[in-house]
Structure 1
Amino acid sequence: MATTGDLIAALKQEVYTELLGKIEGEVERLYKKRIECATLSSTEAASYLGVCKEFLYTMVREEQIKAIRMSSSKAKRPNYRFRLSTLDKWMEEQEGRYEKGESA
């Protein structure tokens, strides 16, 4: 026969398990949202992709990759920010092209 202490312990475990699942789900949702919005500077983005900044700027000019312009259109040297999710998507596209035998 279960004692009151056993019932309380079982109830605590049940509540803990339920809350933990909800908290983990919410943390994962918030993390994914944050990653989708995270941005990198041109230097960071180039490093992340493993390319030089000049090549990154060329890809932006040729509209191969999207960027957020942070400087005026009249500025001699543009200042861009890149969404981490955009860079990841571009890399996945490149992997797909490579697997199909296409050049980058």
Structure 2
Amino acid sequence: MSSTAEFIEVIKSEVSEDVFTRIWSKAEPLIEKRLFNNSFNLKGAAKYVGASEDFMRILCRKKRIRFYKVGNEYRLRQSVLDDWMHAQEQDNYCETE
């Protein structure tokens, strides 16, 4: 009886490892792309920040936020948006005693 239970555990382990390996091989490139190259167009940046697309365009045109262009399209890195939001929080926070 213990040999059957051991056999089942071995099969479960091998199946789990195989499934994980197959899922990870497909997910890893997508995760890396998101982590290292995550950038948004104006619409995506606006959604991420919770602002309007026009507001984001104005920030770019007035050079109030870092961006780059691909053709005529503004592109903003997620890290830049995170830094900008953090700076806004700092500018708008007043610690009272």
TM range (shorter): 0.5 to 0.7
Q: Distance in 1 between matches of 2:80 and 2:29?
A: 18
User: Which gives a bigger RCO, structure 1 or 2 (Cα 8 Å, sep 6+)?
Assistant: 1
Q: Please give the secondary structure, in 1, of the residue aligned with 2:2.
A: coil
Task: Please tell me the root mean square deviation across aligned C-alpha atoms, in Å.
Answer: 3.4
Q: Distance in 1 between matches of 2:15 and 2:24?
A: 14
Give 2:12's aligned residue.
13
What are the Cα deviations for residues 20-72 of structure 1, in whole angstroms up to 9, with x where unaligned? 56566663x5443232323322123223322233432332245442222123x
Please report how far the alpha carbon of residue 100 of structure 1 lies from its aligned counterpart in structure 2 after TM superposition. 4.5
Q: Does the 8 A contact of 1:68 with 1:80 survive in 2?
A: yes
Tell me: CA distance 1:85–1:20, structure 2 relative to 1, closer, same or farther (3 Å): farther
Unaligned runs of 5+ in 1: 72-77
User: After alignment, is 14-23 or 31-40 more displaced?
Assistant: 14-23
Give aligned pairs, total. Answer: 93
* Superposition TM-score, scaled by structure 1 size: 0.55
Q: Percent identity?
A: 22
* Superposition TM-score, scaled by structure 2 size: 0.57
Tell me: CA distance 1:56–1:9, structure 2 relative to 1, closer, same or farther (3 Å): same
Q: Distance in 2 between matches of 1:63 and 1:92?
A: 17
